[in-house]
Structure 1
Amino acid sequence: MLVTYRATGPRTEYTPTDTALTGYIERSEALGEGKEIADIIDLSLAITRQQLNFSSDKNEVDPNRLVHTHTANCIGYAAFFATTCNHLLKRNHLSDHWLARPRVGQLYVLGRNVHHYFSNPFFL
């Protein structure tokens, strides 16, 4: 494993309140197959991938806004995925056993924290 990720703390968790977000998730759910945790994760990843384009710039992080802007950094991606996943878990009666939580994390290459080598606020 050349590159690893270590969670260092929690991020804000969001509830889907925008009807554009909840509607998109629910329309996408109708296309998905199965109601097992692996299916929910795969569908949440697909929805996130379809809705967002990556940017290292400062962006919105609230999924209720990201559904309209379509551009997110890693914080927004994690928030969008977790919100989508938790919405699907609740709709499929799996939220008593599973919960997606976005986390603050750092990247390591060959065991060395790469964040110390960058001055860009994206890595701080």
Structure 2
Amino acid sequence: MAETHFSPEEIEERKKAIFDAMGKRGQRQITKMGYDKWDPFQEPKDPIDIRKDKTKRTSQQLIREFLTAIDADEYSNSYAQGALEMCLGIINEEEKIRGMFDFGQWYTRLLEEEGHDPL
């Protein structure tokens, strides 16, 4: 979003100055998408690696905590990869991962209720 303490004319001057300072390739990309639609003052989107879950942890923090809580001899690379995919899916609120998570919890309860050892 453009800064509000500048007049529309000042904003347009700054926008043109940024455009003129860009390389030819960057200018072509802006022209292709439409100079009028381009907002060089908008806030950047959060990179995926700094997204946090409800506990305010990043995916890297969560997976590190999880894997250090388990004996390294007890899991494979495939296991760690699955845990990471689950972690990223939970943080990104993916429906597929939510279904997997809910099923895992339900199945654990079912095993306990029927007197079986959990996985």
- TM-score bin, normalised by smaller chain: under 0.3
Q: Which has the higher helix share?
A: 2
**Larger RCO of the pair (alpha carbons < 8 Å, separation 6+):** 1
Please, what TM-score do these two structures have when normalized by structure 2?
0.24
More strand by share: 1
Greater Rg by CA: 2
